[in-house]
Structure 1
């Protein structure tokens, strides 16, 4: 990355892009602010004009990531069309696709230790993404009798946990390296088992 971005007033985003590269290479705790500055080709002091420290920089990356994540999930959900079940499964696949395409953002969002409440902007972006998941869960579970229906937030959290586990165990590195199935096949089977348990799809 050249200094040109800094000279045009884009130092903040130049640092974000530099840190994204470093996170992808070394993980969210594997780099220093000085390394981010060097990668952005600015002085070691320059990042502190925009960020108080590494956690603040990572929080900005996570905020941008959650905004992008929400867009991806919302597009996949497609207002519940053609059906709540198809849309719910599409959201699950979109989760894996996001983690694969945007690993630096994903790690900043979920693996950095930065709290979603660290900044108001991060909190709002995280909540926006969560609302897509809970809306999808709500639409799908409406057929369950109210006295047996799990809260939408819990329903969404279960699928999120399953998706995140598959990302961690089977999406990093070479696909299929740890299992004879693709991450998408594993997630589809896991969601199927979960939904059968709730009575939302028929048992085989």
Structure 2
């Protein structure tokens, strides 16, 4: 390195750490999630997100044309992470459909309480009414298909009732989402994420009994 006349190594200017291609978008999504957790999804601005990352708002707008686009990216990241959590929960050797359903339930609650900012955006006002964000719809569908597939698997094994698997998946999702909302809004007080998971599994037993062909087979 060649220093200008009169410039010491200590005083030499250093370049700010730049973002590699693709990194800035992720950094903006992460910063948005942090602000959402502190202020809520309605209260922050895209300029605030850019400032939190240390870039100009113009740089942020090159990745997200408006706040809704950034919220859609936060939601998409949330849905993909949720699907990953659900798939990971089923990655073991457990074959009992009822136990697998309980594993999905625990994974859902764990994700929601671990990623509250993402969860709030995922289940907030619908972001893709005008079809601007097709990848968001794909991310939503992937998690839902995983859940439908589990009910179909249980039906094929003769464990779950022959109701439309999509309807059973919706009922499961309604139960899980309703429970999480009560916990997050402190209508139900739990001491920890594990306590929240354990309590939901107890509450879920009647649902599992209801979708099981023979409740005596419940373990």
Asked if TM exceeds 0.5, the reply is yes
Q: CA deviation at 1:109?
A: 1.4
Structure 2 gap segments, 5+ residues each? 1-15
Pick from 149, 155, 164: which aligns with 1:141?
A: 155
For the 8 Å contact 1:80–1:136, the answer to whether it is kept is no
- For residue 122 of structure 1, what is the aligned residue in structure 2? 136
For the 8 Å contact 2:98–2:208, the answer to whether it is kept is no
Q: CA deviation at 1:5?
A: 4.7
- For residue 165 of structure 2, what is the aligned residue in structure 1? 152
Question: Counterparts of 2:132 and 2:151 in 1: how far apart (Å)?
Answer: 27
Question: Counterparts of 2:36 and 2:208 in 1: how far apart (Å)?
Answer: 35
Structure 1 gap segments, 5+ residues each? none
Structure 2-normalised TM-score?
0.78
Structure 1-normalised TM-score?
0.83
Deviates more, 1:11-20 or 1:72-81: 72-81
Task: Indicate yes or no: 2:117 matched with 1:104.
Answer: yes
For the 8 Å contact 1:59–1:119, the answer to whether it is kept is yes
Matches within 5 A, 1:28-67: 28-67=41-80
Say how many residue pairs are matched: 197
Structure 2 CA distance for partners of 1:184 and 1:168, relative to 1, 3 Å: same
3-state SS in 1 of match to 2:36: helix
Larger C-alpha radius of gyration, 1 or 2? 2
Structure 2 CA distance for partners of 1:65 and 1:113, relative to 1, 3 Å: same
CA RMSD of aligned residues (A): 2.8
Deviates more, 1:49-58 or 1:118-127: 118-127
- Structure with the higher fraction of residues in helix conformation: 1
